[in-house]
Amino acid sequence: MDSDDEIEESSKWKGRPGTIILINALEDSSVTAVAQEASCRLIRQYLRSSSAHIIGVTIYGTEQTKSAFNTSNVVDIFPMNVPTLDGYKKLRAANIESYGKAKELILSEVLWHCSKIFKNCNKTLSSKTVIILTQLNNSPIETDRERTLKRVIDLAESYTEIKCINISMNDYPINPFYQKFLIEANKSKDYILPKAIWDSKAIETLMYIHSHRHLAVAKLCFEIGNGLSIGVGVYSLLKSSSQSHHKTSKLDKETNEVVESVTKTTKVTIGSGNSFPKDDNDIKEVPLLKSELLFYQEYGGERIEFTEKEKKAIENPFGPPMIKLLGFKPATILCKEKWFLKSSYFIFPSESVIEGSTIAFKALHKACTEMNTVAICILCTRVNARPTIVALVPCTNPLDLDIEIGFDVIFIPFIENVRDIPAFDNTDQNIVVENAHKVLMKDMLTSLQFDYKADMFENPKLQSEYRAIEAKSLQEENMEPFVDTTKPNLEKFQDIRDDLFEELFGPFGVLSIKRSKNENESSINTKKVKSEDINEDELQEKISNKTVDSYTITQLKNILKNKSTSEVPAMTGLKKNALVNLVYKHCK
Amino acid sequence: MPPKVEQGTIIILDIGRNTSAKDKSGKSFFENAIECTKRIIERKIMSQGNDLIGIILLGSKKTKNSMAEQCPGAFKHIELFVELEIPSWKMIRDLPDMPTKSKGDWFDALIVAADYFKNGVSGIKNPNKRIILMTNFESPSSVDENGFDQALNGFKEEDFQVDVIGCDINSENSKNNDINMARNFVESTNGVTAPFNDTMRYLLFHKKKHVNAMPWNVDLCIGPNIKIPITSYIRLKDEPIVKKWTKAVRDPITDTASSTEAVSKKTIHLNVENKNVVNNELIKGYHYGQEIIPFFECDKSLIYESGPKSLIVYGFTHSSKVKFQNLNGDGLSYVFGRKGDKKAQYAVRCLVECLLELDLVAIVRRVYNNGYAPRMFALMPVLDSNDFVCLSMASICFKEEIKYMSFPATELKKFACTNDQVNAFKDLIKAMDLTNAYDDSEFDDNEAFPIAETISPSAQYILDCIAFRAMNPGKPLPQPRSDIMMLFKVPPLIEKRAAVPLERLKTLFVLNKVEVKHRIKKSQDASVTDTSIQAEGANEAYNDMPKVELCIPTKSENIQKIRTISPISDYKYLLSKGKPLNEIALEMTGAIESLIYSNLDQHCSKALEAMMFFRMEGVKGDPSYYNNWLKNFKTELYDRKRSDMLELIKEKQLNYIWNQENNLSKYDINDPEEESQIYEMDTAPSFTEMDVSSEVNNLFNDM
């Protein structure tokens, strides 16, 4: 679950996201246990994806002190770093209760501790996030409140995001101190109180959302018309299906060390014509200069050549990345069952490109929703991307995520993307489906109905790979059992009337088998006729005159089958020449 | 096996004397016909299909055809110029470049073409026989009615299609009897006819690449016992426009691909000792955090078995649950009941109708081939405009593919939009309705950018370039044609209609473009140097004067801020004018940074001088300006990999103003925290030691 592969063009995204997870030890042990479990899951998630994120876990409000800067009542489980197996094991093994509980909560020190950690981080950070796992009912001691708020302001000003995750089984009145806290953390009067949350999986997801970097595919000025543009970020909410594999490297079998793979492009001399050098040693390898390189395509039997520069130039002559409105169409034109070409993008207003974009974006969103229309645009996300036509479809909560507003960016297929379906014998419009059949079918459909959710299927191959690796590397005994979510629960199918279905609709495949049998018979017959056709004298004459190639391939094969004097090798896939040679060889 | 041929086309090209006259546009029939022929051949080449082309020249000087061989003296001036073969660039190059003085009989040419199809072509199975006749019928045929009817029947029997291009043969009451005959021919053979203009417009864009449809056959399983045989074909796919480019070495003499040298690409794997490890000595290792776990050490029993090739129904869900967002994959396939199995087709048909009536879609687990990783797909009912009644299949996402992004809250007061604003957008939507984009007369259909019928500009341009290069080797490539660029433009009528609502929108929203931050910095830097250069120019005597002291009185009136040219004196001057220290400090650091980053003076001597001065000011007064700035500056230097500068700062003792130098400083030389910070800042640990020790030494000396 990460998107490192998305290369953001702007240089300000250099670096990696840094996150400090703070767990409040003053809370009830059930709360800290949930917090610990969720943090473990998060770290494991990052281990699985071998992510370059930088994460530290710190317990605060402890009686003991075990921290980098001797900040009192703070225990660092592991310092901020790329997640390691070791760190994960430490966190899993940590007994938060054993650190004791501090007499009073001094939050300002904890936040000061965080800013010191960030300051001392020797890696370039693209973002700084503090995630606090706590309940929001106990404020720091009186004397510390002002100081805490000051620290929050300091952190917020140094672009550190502070997120509170409210771990609780049920809702409770949130201490007013935390409202002030959130106002300062958000640098604005508008804030949203975090909802109580108890499930460690949900907390993990929430922490993942907060800690993750969200790189835009592109940040663009969306040109509505001449002189009117809205700033938007283009995102992909999904990783492409081909990316969701486990990161692997090649290892040397002997040592289990990673090998370095180098691809060399060289220039070799090939003998003119067919005479390839017999020995590898004969080939002279010379370094290839880039200017010597040509690229070609074969069309009309000729090589059409381009230099590297030309090849680049023809791939996108249409200028820099852009998104431009062409007009609107009714939303009904977009049928997913007809026009799905590739995974959609998602756009969200970007105040960092154009200030005031959010309001205009919302107005457009509302207008499109109410009029049930979609915006048709031309989109080019990268300098080297092909421009495409897209439809912007207003949406809320895509993939059931907590995203208030946005447009799905749906790729509209070009004529070049459509393939012809071969002429088919079932396009007969006159098939009338009998009502009784429909009743049975509908009964079956409704009995197998379920509510689809975007996150209900896990990739079973990946999940079992993770478990195999974790079984080895963590030596964990209480492994989560592996459930293959892609396979249906067979119990649900017990009630369907498959016998009746077979009776009404079946049997399948009978006709096709019959047909192929007939075909076989007829072809055998024709073959026999043909083989009888071949005149022995004529054959011998042709052999002696070296004119066997006047036979057709079928005839040649038949000759070889029926008239050969010696064992003939397999003939499938042979070219005519080869068959002719076989005839000379075997039919004398 | 001979290649499977889809279509064989013979073009009868009239190049006789009758084609040389120029029309109103200044082009002769001959020129138009050649251009059109070229385009037809080019399109056939570029689509890489299995079509064959042959060319017969009508009105040629030569007579070369088998009919003439059989009946000497007849079928004159008809030349079988190119036999039916795979279209090539050579065909285009070899086309005649001017009309002849001869004349031929178009009807005879048709007979020659038909005879060639029947008797001249051997070994090619040719299901679709087409003859394109390009003539202006100004050279009348000598055929009589009897012969005509006989020929026409023959053509119908043999299933030839005759098209006439370049001549309007549709007017019923044409006086030219030949035209009436030709029309009869076209109509009876289900041919088409069009003038050159329309033909060229039709041929404007490249045909899509020819792809053979590959069926994927499997049983659709519902529960353990219901198995419906189905076939699926890819319907939509985003494919690369051209095949992978092949690399070649350029021959320096001919400037084309060398025939004696080739590009060889090899991947070698080096172990820690830099030795080559051969492929079968390699194993796969999984990354887990920072560790790499060798694959063979994993428990094989935990490796997933996906099972045989299959398509298994998981269940059915309401169609609104599966949105475009959920689809993640590569295009769309259409699923039919297995070919030849009427029962399966009936069952699929029934399933489609029931899904439509209940507004459901099926979710299925697909294993493409034995052992392949499974994926989940949605099976959705389709009633296609091409009369396909089938299911369409698209991949849906796995949980692991969801990125769980978060975005800032928008439901805030400051982002509220008014009804006016929404209504203004509604007006724009009404004005920019693309389903009514053209005047009725202009095109057949009023919709702009119809789905799946619009051409891809990049695909067309790349193919254009390849075709251009093939015919014009060595010449620079053309820019995209305006026909292609149309796609980037709002249709003119829509643009006109949108003008008013657009102006209204502009008044309703405040939209300010944010300049990218570092760019502002750069431009400021530039302006700093610019103004100073101007100032320099304004006072030409400046360069001749002794440097530091004199520039203050001479330009004192102009100085508003610290410039890179003389930061120290500017600093002193502005301070004396009573400018607040925090502003001066900011300007000072700005000047120092631009001096260093812009490399105006090579050894940074001026910058270092300025730093030294600025630091001394801090030691005397408030150290925080220097210290705070230096902290960020060092980070910046570190990021920019300017270790040279970091070295210099160390060397010139320009580090933080220590607490011991000015007790207002919070930087304590003995504070381990700050020490570690410095340590982190630099790659060389010695830096801290040396730096600190020198500072400490100084300090102790002073004491």
Of A259, A267, A355, the CB nearest to B514: A355
**pLDDT of B362:** 95
User: Locate tokens 């907590």: which residue?
Assistant: A402
Contacts of B314 in chain A (CB under 8 A): 450, 486-488
CA distance A348 to B103: 69
Residues 6+ apart with CB under 8 A from B663: none
- Three-state DSSP at B142 gives coil
Residue B86: name the closest of B121, B40, B128, B52 by CA. Answer: B52
State the pairing for strand pair B310-318/B291-294: unpaired
The 10s digit of each residue's pLDDT in B422-474 is 999 999 999 999 988 887 655 667 788 888 888 899 999 999 999 999 999 88
Residue boundaries of the structural domains of chain A: 14-211, 242-315, 322-417, 435-505, 512-586
pLDDT (mean) for B392-403:
92
H or E stretch including A345?
Answer: strand A345-349
In degrees, rounded to 5, the angle at the alpha carbon of residue B76 between the alpha carbons of residues B72 and B78 is 125
Task: Tell me the fold of A14-211.
Answer: Rossmann fold (3.40.50)
Is the distance from CB of A269 to CB of A283 less than 8 angstroms? yes
Chain A contact present for B404, CB below 8 A: yes
Contact at CB, A259 and B233, closer than 8 angstroms: no
Chain A contact present for B354, CB below 8 A: yes
Is the distance from CB of B675 to CB of B687 less than 8 angstroms? no
Q: What is the DSSP string of A103-116?
A: SS--HHHHHHHHHH
Q: How far is A152 from chain B (nearest CA, A)?
A: 19
CA distance A239 to A6: 10
Of B89, B223, B298, the CB nearest to A496: B223
Contacts of A227 in chain B (CB under 8 A): 502, 506
Question: How many residue contacts between A and B have a Cβ separation below 8 Å?
Answer: 712
- Three-state DSSP at B82 gives strand
**Three-class SS string for A24-85?**
ECCCCHHHHHHHHHHHHHHHHHHHHCCCCCEEEEEEECCCCCECCCCCCCEEEEEEEECCCH
H or E stretch including B381?
Answer: strand B375-383
Question: Is residue B89 pLDDT above 90, yes or no?
Answer: yes
Of B281, B347, B376, the CB nearest to A253: B281
Of B209, B398, B677, the CB nearest to A244: B398
CA distance A127 to B77: 81
CA distance A226 to A219: 19
Contact at CB, A293 and B270, closer than 8 angstroms: no
Contacts of A263 in chain B (CB under 8 A): 265-267
CA distance A287 to A281: 16
Contact at CB, B282 and A252, closer than 8 angstroms: yes
Is the distance from CB of B104 to CB of B14 less than 8 angstroms? yes
Q: What residue type is B116 in one-letter code?
A: Y
Contact at CB, B271 and A344, closer than 8 angstroms: no
Is the distance from CB of B152 to CB of B184 less than 8 angstroms? yes
Q: How many Cβ atoms are within 10 Å of A439's Cβ, its own excluded?
A: 12
Is the distance from CB of B166 to CB of B134 less than 8 angstroms? yes
How many angstroms separate the Cα of B515 from the Cα of each of A187, A204, B408, B464? 22, 37, 21, 38
Task: Tell me the fold of B8-202.
Answer: Rossmann fold (3.40.50)
User: Locate tokens 């009784």: which residue?
Assistant: A436
Contact at CB, B316 and A398, closer than 8 angstroms: no
CA distance B379 to B333: 9
CATH number of A435-505: 1.10.1600.10
How many angstroms separate the Cα of B133 from the Cα of each of B13, B34, B65? 7, 12, 17
Chain A contact present for B221, CB below 8 A: no
How many angstroms separate the Cα of B270 from the Cα of each of A254, B296, B404? 13, 21, 38
Residues 6+ apart with CB under 8 A from A481: none
Q: Which residues pair with A145 in a beta bridge?
A: none
Our CA dihedral for A42, A239, A126, A71, rounded to 10 degrees, sits at 0
Contacts of B448 in chain A (CB under 8 A): 326-327
Eight-state DSSP code of residue A267:
E
- Three-state DSSP at A514 gives helix
Residue B66: name the closest of B79, B82, B54, B53 by CA. Answer: B79
Q: How far is A392 from chain B (nearest CA, A)?
A: 11
Cα nearest neighbour of B631 on chain A: A119
CA distance A37 to A31: 10
Cα nearest neighbour of B122 on chain A: A552
User: Locate tokens 């091409």: which residue?
Assistant: B386
- Return the CATH architecture of domain A322-417: Beta Barrel (2.40)
Contact at CB, B325 and A346, closer than 8 angstroms: yes
CA distance A335 to A317: 31
Chain A contact present for B210, CB below 8 A: no
Contacts of A438 in chain B (CB under 8 A): 350, 353-354, 357
Contacts of B291 in chain A (CB under 8 A): 84-85, 473
Cα nearest neighbour of A235 on chain B: B405
Q: How far is B176 from chain A (nearest CA, A)?
A: 39
Of A373, A449, A468, the CB nearest to B315: A449
Per-residue exposure over A248-259, b if at least 16 CB sit within 10 Å of its own CB, e if not? bbbbbbeeebbb
Question: Is residue B90 pLDDT above 90, yes or no?
Answer: yes
How many angstroms separate the Cα of A116 from the Cα of each of A120, A177, B375, B666? 6, 24, 46, 14
CA distance A425 to A68: 75
Interface of B with A in 601-640 (CB under 8 A): 639
Chain A contact present for B349, CB below 8 A: yes
H or E stretch including B394?
Answer: strand B389-395
pLDDT band at B558; cut points 50, 70, 90:
low
Chain A contact present for B578, CB below 8 A: no
ipTM of the complex: 0.79
State the pairing for strand pair A54-60/A16-24: parallel
The 10s digit of each residue's pLDDT in B561-598 is 777 777 888 888 777 777 778 788 888 888 888 777 77
Contact at CB, A359 and B376, closer than 8 angstroms: no
Of B242, B314, B513, the CB nearest to A297: B242
Testing the interface with B: which of A337, A400, A470, A485 to mutate, by most B Cβ within 10 A?
Answer: A337
Contact at CB, B317 and A452, closer than 8 angstroms: yes
Chain A contact present for B451, CB below 8 A: yes
Q: Which residues pair with B335 in a beta bridge?
A: B232, B391
CA distance B133 to A382: 47
| A54-60, strands of its sheet edge to edge | A74-81, A54-60, A16-24, A125-134, A160-166
Tokens linked to A462: 């990946």
Q: How far is B447 from chain A (nearest CA, A)?
A: 9
Contact at CB, A353 and B513, closer than 8 angstroms: yes
Residue B141: name the closest of B107, B109, B94, B97 by CA. Answer: B107
Contacts of B452 in chain A (CB under 8 A): 339, 412-415, 417-418
Testing the interface with A: which of B85, B404, B420, B502 to mutate, by most A Cβ within 10 A?
Answer: B404
Contact at CB, B306 and A305, closer than 8 angstroms: no
Residue A184: name the closest of A220, A211, A147, A152 by CA. Answer: A152
Q: Is domain A242-315 classified as CATH 4.10.970?
A: yes
Residue boundaries of the structural domains of chain B: 8-202, 213-406, 542-702
- Return the CATH architecture of domain B213-406: Beta Barrel (2.40)
Question: Is residue B515 pLDDT above 50, yes or no?
Answer: yes
CA distance B375 to B363: 10
Contacts of A507 in chain B (CB under 8 A): 343
Contacts of B457 in chain A (CB under 8 A): 318, 387
Q: How far is B89 from chain A (nearest CA, A)?
A: 6
Chain A contact present for B446, CB below 8 A: no
Chain A contact present for B208, CB below 8 A: yes
3-state helix, strand, coil in chain B (%, to 5): 45, 20, 40
- CA A167 to chain centroid: 30
**Three-class SS string for B618-686?**
HHHCCCHHHHHHHHHHHHHHHHCCCHHHHHHHHHCCCCCCCCCCCCCCCCCCCCHHHHHHHHHHCCCCH
Per-residue exposure over B31-40, b if at least 16 CB sit within 10 Å of its own CB, e if not? bbbbbbbbbb
In degrees, rounded to 5, the angle at the alpha carbon of residue B338 between the alpha carbons of residues B3 and A423 is 45
Domains B8-202 and B213-406 share a fold: no
Of A229, A243, A318, the CB nearest to B511: A229
User: Locate tokens 């260093």: which residue?
Assistant: B596
**pLDDT of B528:** 39
Contact at CB, A336 and B322, closer than 8 angstroms: yes
**pLDDT of B202:** 86
Instruction: Give, for all 588 residues of chain A, the pLDDT tens digit.
Output: 333 333 333 444 567 889 999 999 998 888 999 999 999 999 988 888 888 889 999 999 998 888 888 888 889 988 888 888 888 888 988 888 888 888 888 899 999 999 999 988 888 888 889 999 999 888 888 888 889 999 998 888 888 888 889 998 888 888 888 888 888 888 766 677 788 888 888 888 888 887 777 788 889 999 999 889 999 999 999 988 777 677 888 888 878 888 888 888 888 877 644 444 444 555 667 788 878 888 999 998 888 999 888 888 888 788 889 999 999 999 999 989 999 999 999 999 998 889 999 999 999 999 999 999 999 999 999 888 889 999 999 999 898 888 889 999 999 999 999 988 887 655 555 678 888 889 999 999 999 999 999 989 999 988 888 888 888 777 766 677 788 899 988 888 888 888 888 888 878 875 444 344 344 444 444 444 444 556 777 777 777 777 777 777 777 777 777 766 666 666 666 777 777 777 777 766
Contact at CB, B236 and A341, closer than 8 angstroms: yes
Contacts of A454 in chain B (CB under 8 A): 325-326, 397, 399, 402
Interface of B with A in 485-504 (CB under 8 A): 487-488, 490-491, 494, 498, 502
H or E stretch including B221?
Answer: strand B216-222
Q: How far is B397 from chain A (nearest CA, A)?
A: 7
Chain A contact present for B702, CB below 8 A: no
Between A377-381, B155-159, B402-406, B533-537, the lowest mean confidence (pLDDT) is in B533-537
